[in-house]
Structure 1
Amino acid sequence: MRRLAFSFMIAALAAGPAAAEQDLLLGADMASPAMTKAEMSRADIEAMIRASDGKPLDLHDKALSGLDLSGLNLRGANLRTARLNGTNLRGADLSGANLEQAWFLKADLSGAKLADARMFGITARDANLSGADLSRSTPIGDFKGANMSGAMLVDLKGGADIRNQSMGLMRAVFTSVNLSGANLKGADLGRSRLEYADLKDADLTDVVLMGSDLSGANLTGATVAGADFKNVDVSGAKLIDLKGEASAKGWAQRVNADRAVTRVSP
């Protein structure tokens, strides 16, 4: 079931704009115990941590949905294909963890440490990542509707790698994500999906946005100095009170620039 679900997600993420609106959860039985239940308890994981002698835990493919794992040290843990839907990971340390193909639907990762985490194929729709540190992570997956307000996304690598097309055009899906006040300095979001994202007062200094979709996004008050806007679709986007606009790259090469909102209506 999980392999089937992931194959559908790959196909949807790799498809064009119309097909990309497909439900990325197609093929997954979200009501199954594998997606909604936990096969371990917090006490079990705490015992594993004590016995690990500082080595990263191996929790790959485990069902951990709904658990309270807040504040735990899961640094470098292998959580590949694990299910953590609705799991409380508030303040947990997942730095350098392998989260590839893992499920975090509606999980609470507020204030969590996710720096350098591997997230290829992750599904984290409607997750709470407010104030989390995702610096240098690779969120190549589905974060639609997530809350990343105030998050640290410095040097994040969420852009499509056009040099490697063996898996299709995989990229970050940040559709309708709350990124207000987030720090994205130096992030790579090339060819990513940011439709209707809230980027109000976000720091986009030197961010690579080339070829991404910002249609309907709110960039009011955002800092865009050095950001690359070449071939970025800004149809309906709010580009109001931007900071550093004069030094933004590819500004004249935005797509649908005439349809962007550049001032507040009287």
Structure 2
Amino acid sequence: MTSIPRYLALTCAMVAAAAFAAEQWTGYERLTREQLISALDATPAGEKAELTSKNLIGVDLSRVDFRGANLSASVLNNANLSAATLDRCNLTVSFLEGANLSGASLREAMMFSSQLAGANLTGADLTGARLIGDFRNVDFSKARLNRMNAAPDMKNQSMGLMRASIVSARAIEADLSDSDFSRTDFSFSDLTRAKLLRTKLYRADFSGAILAGADLTDADLRDSVLIDTDFTGANLTNADLTGATVRSIRGLDTATTTGARGLPASE
């Protein structure tokens, strides 16, 4: 039997993938950059544009001001949103997998059950945002995540625990101070030199995470999971680790632990 040439097989695979993607998002209105900007411009002053269930996959939306638009259930996978303004936007149940949000402003944005796996949020500003969803492999390096609420709503968990999953992510030199990341999964993430001052990390999971040089002054780490966590050179001044699961942690002997509570007797 004659074999299919390699280039032809690759082409067929790409066509099949494209067809699957198109079928997957059937019913989502496809918009270009120009059409989206026109929709924003047509929205009366003081009102928020209704842009739910739109298909913006791969569209260049860099530097666009979304003016607090309702983008819930929209698909922006692999879109370029660098330096875009998404303050107070509703991104509930939205898809931004692989999107470029570097330098974007997402202040007070609603990101509940959002899917951002593999997205780039370097230098982004998420101050005051609501964050629950899939943030695996996201790059938050040098991002601002201050005064955020990323804790699950424990009164509304009929379908199981919905929490922020920040697994295998990069948050190098990110600022998470004064935020609530209770029950967040940070396992295998790199938070080198991150700021977590006064951050609520109750029952957060830092298994395999790197917190080298991180500032955890006054942080709440009660009942957290600290297995194979790297605290080399970290600042744990007045941090509360009461009830934490501590095993095989590294670098604690080089960390500042003045006033810290719940530290292991010997580690």
Query: If the length of structure 2 is used for normalisation, what is the TM-score?
Result: 0.83
Distance 1:30 1:252, change over 3 A: farther
> Which residue does 1:259 correspond to in 2?
248
Distance 1:180 1:35, change over 3 A: farther
1:123 aligns with 2:112: no
How big is the shift at 1:188? 0.8
**Aligned with residue 246 of structure 1, among 237, 247, 259:** 237
Number of equivalent positions = 234
% of aligned pairs identical? 32
Distance 1:89 1:119, change over 3 A: same
Higher strand share: 2
How big is the shift at 1:169? 1.5
1:108 aligns with 2:94: no
Counterpart AA for 1:43? E
> Which residue does 2:36 correspond to in 1?
45
Provide the rounded CA distance (Å) in 2 between the counterparts of 1:148 and 1:191.
18
Equivalent residue runs for 1:141-220 within 5 Å: 141-220=133-212
How big is the shift at 1:31? 3.5
> Which residue does 1:90 correspond to in 2?
82
Contact 2:228 2:247 in 1 (8 A): no
1:32 aligns with 2:21: yes
Provide the rounded CA distance (Å) in 1 between the counterparts of 2:44 and 2:161.
40
Contact 2:53 2:71 in 1 (8 A): yes
Range that drifts further, 53-62 or 104-113: 53-62
1:231 aligns with 2:223: yes
Contact 2:178 2:197 in 1 (8 A): yes
How big is the shift at 1:53? 3.5
Provide the rounded CA distance (Å) in 1 between the counterparts of 2:215 and 2:191.
10
Secondary structure, aligned partner of 1:43: helix
**Aligned with residue 137 of structure 1, among 120, 129, 141:** 129
Secondary structure, aligned partner of 1:119: strand
How big is the shift at 1:218? 0.4
What RMSD in Å do the two structures reach over aligned CA positions?
2.1
Counterpart AA for 2:250? V
Contact 2:29 2:53 in 1 (8 A): no
Q: Which has the larger radius of gyration?
A: 2
Counterpart AA for 1:61? S
How big is the shift at 1:264? 9.1
Provide the rounded CA distance (Å) in 2 between the counterparts of 1:230 and 1:264.
20
Distance 1:263 1:226, change over 3 A: closer
Deviations 1:38-91 (A, max 9, x none): 711111112122222333221100111010011011021111110000000001
> Which residue does 1:71 correspond to in 2?
63
Provide the rounded CA distance (Å) in 2 between the counterparts of 1:180 and 1:136.
20
Provide the rounded CA distance (Å) in 1 between the counterparts of 2:101 and 2:19.
20
Q: Which runs of 5+ in 2 are unaligned?
A: 1-17, 255-267
Provide the rounded CA distance (Å) in 1 between the counterparts of 2:31 and 2:67.
19
* Higher RCO (C-alpha under 8 Å, 6+ residues apart): 1
Provide the rounded CA distance (Å) in 2 between the counterparts of 1:221 and 1:209.
17
Provide the rounded CA distance (Å) in 1 between the counterparts of 2:125 and 2:31.
26
Counterpart AA for 1:253? G
Distance 1:141 1:30, change over 3 A: farther
Q: Which runs of 5+ in 1 are unaligned?
A: 1-28
Query: If the length of structure 1 is used for normalisation, what is the TM-score?
Result: 0.83
